[in-house]
Amino acid sequence: MFIDYVEIYVKAGNGGRGAVSFRREKYIPKGGPDGGDGGKGGDVIIESNPNMSTLLDYRYKRKYIAQNGENGMGALKTGKSGDDIILQVPVGTVVKDKETGEVLFDFTQPNQKFIVARGGKGGRGNNHFKSPTNQAPRKAEPGQKGEERWIILELKLIADVGIVGFPNAGKSTLISVISAAKPKIADYPFTTLEPVLGLVQYKDFKSFVVADIPGIIEGASEGKGLGLKFLRHIERTKILLFLIEATSSDPFKDYKILINELGSYSTELLKKRHVVAISKMDLIPEELRKDIERKIKLKFNKPVKNINKSKGIFFISAVSHIGIESLLDKLAEMIDEAEQ
């Protein structure tokens, strides 16, 4: 199962307390203080693991408590430090403080580490409190408390291009043709229930990552269909690809509905550059294609509220491999531009 949002509790270990102890040696009646310090509490650390792809583990176990430091001992022995806990998460995970919503860390690379709750320091033993006036201090410190907090782990996939469209528009078919990804494809809506990433190996050994997400319908922002929560996976993409069926009765209207739904999730999404691809062109009889293309182009020339003009409109068929190359050329060019 693909899980992209969890809330968990983390608590670092407390520091051990410092010891109150006095040296005891033969023939020395009054030994000085020799109470050792308490050990440090264990940290709770989060680490990004490139082999993980979901936050599923954290659905079942919600609380992570690191070990406390041990108390200090006589003969200046420091208590043992508590063991750290390391929580592994997929690359693309954002860590937020649950109470404030503040982003604490964003794992964009593999093997990054972040201490989300710091273990408490051990308290000092009584050997630190000796002074000219007090040769036999009975004072030692308690250990500090380990930090604790509720946090949110949210996985936002990292892709270059996000494909958005109505259910059944052919999004999964397209990603299966341009990449090695093998998502489920079927002739019914909401076939795709979780996002899929595909690596497109492009000319000149370049590559880019495309994300296929579940279909969006009118009213998705009010919870219709699968809702909009998976749009978090296209928040980080550089480019959006709107995929609209050629056989639709009004492709331009579909486009406006999609824009509207995206905008109600986040206006930031609409600031991304985008292209439009009209899919399933093989279903249009060949002799009608030119005419239909011309009409659709004309319609899409009109400006749409809240979004910049698309960087191009492509007429494609994933099944018959029509127009795929020029679409990929454009996407690669736009990614290059976005990276400069």
Ligand X SMILES: Nc1nc2c(ncn2[C@@H]2O[C@H](COP(=O)(O)OP(=O)(O)OP(=O)(O)O)[C@@H](O)[C@H]2O)c(=O)[nH]1
For Mg ion, the closer of residues 112 and 191 by Cβ is 191
Give the residue among 217, 215, 210 at the shortest CA–CA distance from 176. 210
For ligand X, the closer of residues 35 and 165 by Cβ is 165
Q: Please select the residue that binds ligand X; options are 92, 317, 328, 334, rule is CB under 6 A.
A: 317
Task: Tell me which residue has its CB nearest to ligand X.
Answer: 215
Separation of alpha carbons 92 and 109, rounded Å: 8
For Mg ion, the closer of residues 165 and 323 by Cβ is 165
For ligand X, the closer of residues 167 and 227 by Cβ is 167
Smallest distance from the beta carbon of 252 to ligand X, in angstroms?
19
144 part of the interface to ligand X, by CB under 6 A: no
- Residues touching ligand X, count (CB under 6 A): 24
For ligand X, the closer of residues 67 and 172 by Cβ is 172
Q: Considering CB distances under 5 to 8 angstroms, the limit depending on partner class, which of ligand X, Mg ion, none binds residue 318?
A: ligand X
The stretch among 7-15, 90-98, 101-109, 164-172 that binds ligand X (CB under 6 A) is 164-172
192 part of the interface to ligand X, by CB under 6 A: yes
Contacting residues toward ligand X, per CB under 6 A: 165, 167-173, 185-187, 189-192, 214-215, 279-280, 282-283, 317-319
